[in-house]
Amino acid sequence: MPDLRTVLNAARSRLSDGYEADYLLAHALQRSGAWIMAHLDDPLEAALQHAFETAVQRRLEGTPVAYITGHRGFWTLDLEVSPATLIPRPDTETLVEAALERIPVGTPQRLADLGTGSGAIALALAIERPEAEVWAVDCSAEALEVARRNARRHGLDRVVFRQGDWLSPLQGSFDLIASNPPYIESSDPHLQRGDLRFEPAAALASGRDGLDAIRQLVAGSGRLLRPGGWLLLEHGWRQGPAVRSLLLSHGWSDAETLRDLEGRDRVTLGRRRT
Ligand code: GLN
């Protein structure tokens, strides 16, 4: 029987990102990375080695690591993901931070996450603001199932899940609406490369200039926000000026673009006039 070290090193050299092999081995063995580091001299039994090799093979064929393991960390949460959901990205934590800065602690606010996917934004807001009423909307029933399981796993059963198109399922008036909508140009060649090929097209691309969904949200969100309420939108790093000018032409105030961890425009927000 080979030991873990031998099997791991062989996989590390086959995968372009070495850390991915560690991640896939941890998943195959259902152990932590720390456990593996402490047991590198242990023999690896055939069934587990087979499970690991199958995972490595899928990765070599392009499947994103998160779809192989079925998990991705976001904010403080470990989230289940599936090919029905976008894989949460660290960029989106910029949006969560900006939202939290605008949600006072200890007041019962109503918040919505549109196009919730795995539930990343909604659940991060719900865990940070226990007194808030959080609505999570997605048009995909399959994605909502994943999001509901994530809510249950983290004890966030009070999140309200609704299936439907963007703003249509919302009822009543909200203090803040957040969304990481699709925003890639439909002809962008990146959609045909890497992990993006495996993610739901409807969560990525949005018309010729990538702004179709954002235009809908900018035009429609105002009537669902209380005066002074906030709209926060994630977008591509070159879309900041376009999103700000959309907000201004629809009468929003306080239009401002924030940068992600890599220093690129990523989130634009606007406020419903009081
Ligand atoms: N940020 C993602 C990417 O460019 C796209 C996510 C989205 O469209 N909301 O890979």
Question: Can you give the pLDDT at residue 35?
Answer: 96
Question: Can you give the pLDDT at residue 256?
Answer: 98
Instruction: Identify the CATH number of the domain in which residue 180 sits.
Output: 3.40.50.150
Domain annotation covers residue 69: no
Give the ligand 1 atom nearest the CA of 180. Answer: 9
Domain hosting 170: range is 81-271
- Taking only the tens place, the pLDDT of each residue in 120-138 is 999 999 999 999 999 999 9
Which residue(s) pair with 232 in the sheet?
178, 269
Closest C-alpha residue for ligand 1 atom 2: 204
Say if ligand 1 is within 6 A of residue 179 CB: no
Give the ligand 1 atom nearest the CA of 205. Answer: 8
Confirm whether pTM is higher than 0.75: yes
d(CA 219, CA 207): 16
Model confidence at 274, in pLDDT bands (50, 70, 90)?
A: confident
Closest C-alpha residue for ligand 1 atom 10: 196
Q: Is the pLDDT of residue 18 over 80?
A: no
Query: In percent, how much of the chain has pLDDT > 70?
Result: 100
Which residue(s) pair with 234 in the sheet?
267
Question: Can you give the pLDDT at residue 24?
Answer: 96
Say if ligand 1 is within 6 A of residue 91 CB: yes
Query: 107 and 151 share a domain?
Result: yes
Question: How far apart are the CA of 3 and the centre of ligand 1, in A?
Answer: 39
Give the ligand 1 atom nearest the CA of 115. Answer: 9
Domain annotation covers residue 72: no
Query: 240 and 162 share a domain?
Result: yes
How many structural domains compose the chain?
2
Query: 127 and 217 share a domain?
Result: yes
Q: Are 160 and 135 in contact (CB under 8 A)?
A: yes
